[in-house]
Structure 1
Amino acid sequence: MRLFHSPGSPYARIARMAVIELGLEDRVVAEEATLRDPSSVLLPHNPVGRVPTLVLDDGTAITETTAVLTMLDSLVEPARRLLPGPEKPRALAAYGRVLGALDGIAVWNRELRRPEHERSPGVIALEALRAVRVTDALEQEAARGGFAARDAGWFALVSLLGYCERRHTAFAWRQGRPALAALFDAAQARPAVARTVPPTGMGSAAPPLR
Structure 2
Amino acid sequence: MTDSSSAGKPRLFYSEGSPYARICRMALRERGLGQTVDEAVTTLRDPAAAVLPYNPVGRVPALALPDGTTLTETTLILGWLDGHGGRPGMMPASASGQATYGRVLGLLDGVAVWNRELRRPVSERSPSVIALELARANRVADVLESQAAQGAFSTVDAGFLALAAVLGYAERRHTVWKWREGRPCLDQWFAQASRRAAFCETLPPPSGI
TM-score, normalising length: structure 1: 0.93
* Deviation beyond 3 Å, 4+ runs, structure 1: none
User: Is the counterpart of residue 42 in structure 1 residue 42 in structure 2?
Assistant: no
Q: Which residue identity lines up with residue 53 of structure 1 in the other structure?
A: A
* 1:162 counterpart (164, 168, 172): 168
User: Is the counterpart of residue 98 in structure 1 residue 104 in structure 2?
Assistant: yes
Shift in Å, 1:202: 3.1
Give me the whole-angstrom Cα distance separating, in 2, the residues matched to 1:31 and 1:190: 22
SS of corresponding position for 1:31? strand
User: Is the counterpart of residue 83 in structure 1 residue 63 in structure 2?
Assistant: no
Give me the whole-angstrom Cα distance separating, in 2, the residues matched to 1:144 and 1:153: 15
Give me the whole-angstrom Cα distance separating, in 1, the residues matched to 2:160 and 2:185: 13
Give me the whole-angstrom Cα distance separating, in 1, the residues matched to 2:197 and 2:67: 30
Equivalent residues, number: 200
Q: Which residue identity lines up with residue 67 of structure 1 in the other structure?
A: L
Q: Which runs of 5+ in 1 are unaligned?
A: 204-210
User: Is the counterpart of residue 171 in structure 1 residue 177 in structure 2?
Assistant: yes
Superposed CA deviations along residues 28-75 of structure 1, whole A, max 9, x for unmatched, are 011100000000010001001100000011121100000010111111
SS of corresponding position for 1:125? helix
Shift in Å, 1:76: 2.9
Aligned to 1:63: 72
User: Is the counterpart of residue 13 in structure 1 residue 26 in structure 2?
Assistant: no
User: Is the counterpart of residue 186 in structure 1 residue 192 in structure 2?
Assistant: yes
Give me the whole-angstrom Cα distance separating, in 2, the residues matched to 1:194 and 1:187: 10
Aligned to 1:206: none
Aligned to 1:151: 157
User: Is the counterpart of residue 201 in structure 1 residue 176 in structure 2?
Assistant: no
Shift in Å, 1:89: 1.1
Identity %: 56
Q: Which moved more, 1:187-196 or 1:99-108?
A: 187-196
TM-score, normalising length: structure 2: 0.94
Could you say which structure has the greater relative contact order, defined with CA pairs below 8 angstroms and 6 or more residues apart? 1
Q: Which residue identity lines up with residue 96 of structure 1 in the other structure?
A: G
Q: Which runs of 5+ in 2 are unaligned?
A: 1-9
Aligned to 1:51: 60
Give me the whole-angstrom Cα distance separating, in 1, the residues matched to 2:89 and 2:54: 26
